[in-house]
A = this chain, B = another copy of it.
């Protein structure tokens, strides 16, 4: 059945998955850059800090699907912008304690509604198909690999 001559990129699942994700991400990134002046890596760090308590670079790396160098650089930019602080963890001086500043908290408070609204838009476009999409993503993402 799988005739290689008939191969069509537009029905190729890995390609399609990557293409949607790219478009969604680009739109999301543009919005965040314009409204808040931050990138997606920075957004992820902020949101993770908002969720968890004291957090190290390693923690962010593990939970947010980013290389540690990417996390490190995002954190440095956020620190320079005054949204987070970096402190040394006294019980293990290799670890950083990343924390939101009051400015960072305020920024997250403005960010989250926009994020949630964006998600709502997506879900509205999907209608009843959301569930199937989420189930498929879960199967690929949360699998033991």
Are B139 and A129 neighbours in the complex by a CB distance under 8 Å?
Answer: yes
Query: Looking at A24, A64, A123, A136, which has the most chain B CB atoms within 10 Å of its CB?
Result: A136
**A65–B21 CA distance with the chains assembled, in angstroms:** 11
Total identical chains = 2
Tally of contact residues, A, Cβ under 8 A: 56
Residues of chain B within 8 A of A113, CB atoms compared: 4
> Interface majority SS on A: helix, strand, loop or mixed?
helix
Interface string of A23-57 (1 = CB under 8 A from B): 11100100000000000000010011011000000
Contact surface of A with B, Cβ cutoff 8 Å:
2, 4, 7-10, 12-25, 28, 44, 47-48, 50-51, 63-65, 109, 112-113, 115-116, 118-120, 122-123, 125-127, 129-141, 143
